[in-house]
Chain A
Amino acid sequence: MEKIAVSCEEPSLDSPVDPRFGRAAGFLIVDPDTLEFSYVDNGSSQAMSQGAGIQAAETVCRSGAKVVLTGYVGPKAFQALFAAGIKIGQNLEKMTVRQAIDKFKAGEVDMATAPNRMGHGA
């Protein structure tokens, strides 16, 4: 199965899903079949005042993941992920990375076709 990028607060499957995509602490890149994962830090996007979502989308794209699971994705990051052919599952905050993946595998995640909130800045 294709690899999944989940926004996370710490590099662990039991980390809470970071509700922010662009400003997530990092991403777990998970193989949903074996649950093997690697971690990519997103610290540099966190510090950015603008364009954080776009940079995070580039990071995820480079990781080879084809699906993103997160809380919410801003409009620019959404556009970027969409252009890269990456599928987006949102509103997955308040659970762990593991739970988010289980939910996705069970087909319980609605894959978004539009961003679910406005961006932060100019």
Chain B
Amino acid sequence: MKELVVISGKGGTGKTSLLAAFASLVKRKALCDADVDAADLHLIMDPRIKERHDFESGHAATINLDTCTQCGLCRELCRWDAIGEDFIVDPIGCEGCGVCYYFCPEKAIEFPLKTCGEWYLSETRFGPMAHARLGIAEENSGKLVSLIRKEGKKLAEKESLDLLLTDGPPGIGCPVIASLGGATATLVVAEPTVSGRHDMERVVELAAFFKVPAMVCINKFDLNPDMGQAIEVFARERNVTVMGRIPFDPVFTKAMVQGKTIFEFDDRSEGSKAVKVIWENLVKGLETSTCWGQS
């Protein structure tokens, strides 16, 4: 089983619309939305949730004010200034390190496991899908990303599907690192802008850092063809295969508004034609990719 993770560095370059379009093109696959922080894939996939699970991760301190003697040791030790003068723990500030809990001489601090989100196993018109929702203002999105990818792989294995399509998060930090580890390959969706180029360079560097083979495609290419070409030159210098160019096409927005993939909305649009070419190139790329996502 192979896993293709679609990322971008910069947000809003069209990762999710593109992944949804791929889902229209390939028959036997499972889907995974690893952008747990601001998940959008479900808006097109319209999943029927079959299993719902709490995501429990990390701990948070709470102080029992009845037994607390206000000695102040916890406030002294807390490096996040999460404990107020009234000895109430700010749940948003608490890092979950447990230092206050460990040292409290009165044992007045509890340190329960937190529920910080939910994850789902669903059925869609394109196959099974694993997705999640991180609670607002929660931490540990990287852990939830690892979990949801693992569940996505299980879904694929259960139905003997050969491919897992994973929608990754933007950025280069913890959730992105968690979405790349062990992937067969990653497709970077770039846009031909100064920011798009800058962010794509950093995310390509990240993929190289974690030794995940990277490929790139450029969305809205005609917005700035010179910049698009500069990105392609950069990619080739880094041994990143260029999979193709997608023109600026309002069909992406129109399809999204109707909750459809671009192929369902209009499979003859310029955008659709370009995505088809990219998909054909990707299939070849995945076939020759030597790194296997087995676990």
A-to-B contact residues, CB < 8 Å: 19-20, 23, 49-50, 117-122
Contacts and interface: CB of A to CB of B under 8 A. Distances in A.
A120 B295 contact: yes
A49 B147 CA distance: 7
B211 interface: yes
Contact of A120 (B146, B175, B211): B146
A38 to B, nearest CB: 26
Interface stretch (B11-19, B61-69, B176-184, B282-290): B176-184
Interface of B: 57, 140, 142-147, 173-175, 177-178, 181-182, 210-212, 294-295
A120 B178 contact: yes
Contacts of A50: 142-143, 146
Given A118-B210, A122-B175, 5 more contacts: A49-B142, A50-B146, A119-B181, A120-B178, A122-B174
A122 B177 CA distance: 6
Nearest to A117: B182
A63 to B, nearest CB: 23
A90 to B, nearest CB: 13
Contacts of A117: 182
B177 A121 contact: yes
A121 B146 contact: yes
B294 A120 contact: no
Contact of A49 (B57, B173, B177): B57
A121 B295 contact: no
A20 B293 CA distance: 12
Contacts of A19: 294-295
Given A23-B295, A120-B295, A49 B140 contact: yes
A19 B142 CA distance: 23
Contact of B142 (A23, A118, A122): A122
Contacts of A20: 295
B213 to A, nearest CB: 12
A-B pairs with lowest CB-CB distance, top 4: A49-B143, A122-B142, A121-B146, A121-B178
28 contacts: A19-B294, A19-B295, A23-B295, A49-B57, A49-B140, A49-B142, A49-B144, A49-B147, A50-B142, A50-B146, A118-B181, A119-B181, A119-B182, A120-B178, A120-B181, A120-B182, A120-B295, A121-B142, A121-B143, A121-B177, A121-B178, A121-B181, A122-B142, A122-B143, A122-B146, A122-B173, A122-B175, A122-B177
Contacts of B294: 19
Contact of B182 (A49, A118, A122): A118
A91 B143 CA distance: 27
Contact of A118 (B57, B173, B211): B211
B1 to A, nearest CB: 13
Contacts of A121: 142-143, 145-146, 177-178, 181
A23 B174 CA distance: 21
A77 to B, nearest CB: 13
B210 A122 contact: no
A49 B57 CA distance: 8
Contacts of B177: 121-122
A19 B292 CA distance: 13
A122 B295 contact: no
A7 to B, nearest CB: 12
A118 to B, nearest CB: 5
A92 to B, nearest CB: 14
B180 to A, nearest CB: 8
